Amino acid sequence: QSVLTQPPSVSAAPGQTATISCFGNRFNIGETYVSWYQQVPGEAPRLLIYDNYRRPSGTPDRFSASKSGTTATLDIAGLQTDDEGDYYCGAWDNSLSAGVFGGGTKLTVL
């Protein structure tokens, strides 16, 4: 059971926008910064977003993220088939003094 909660799956058509939510509590998302990762099957996870909304170099601006209270959201605009994969949110949890991840969301581009 993951500390952060994500929907198991999300699907959308090419060119559309997909939204993935990540639900936490006041000790993790509520108090610290959220990061997002993309994982293609058979590969290591890759950082997409850090500090709630910042994109590292290499992340296309089609990927955007935000946070409100204890919920974080990742938006992927102009969906491409290459965007298919698993997406994970992560954060620090001040009550656990540990990192935490969501259970992952499988994105399907129909």
Q: Find the shortest distance in angstroms from Cβ 50 to other proteins.
A: 4
The answer to the question of residue 85 lying near other proteins (CB under 8 A) is: no
3-state SS class at 51? coil
Which amino acid, residue 82? D
The answer to the question of residue 88 lying near other proteins (CB under 8 A) is: yes
Task: Name the β-bridge partners of 85.
Answer: 107
Single out the residue of 10, 32, 72, 79 in contact with other proteins (rule: CB under 8 A): 32
Question: Looking up tokens 């799956």, which residue turns up?
Answer: 9
Q: Find the shortest distance in angstroms from Cβ 77 to other proteins.
A: 22
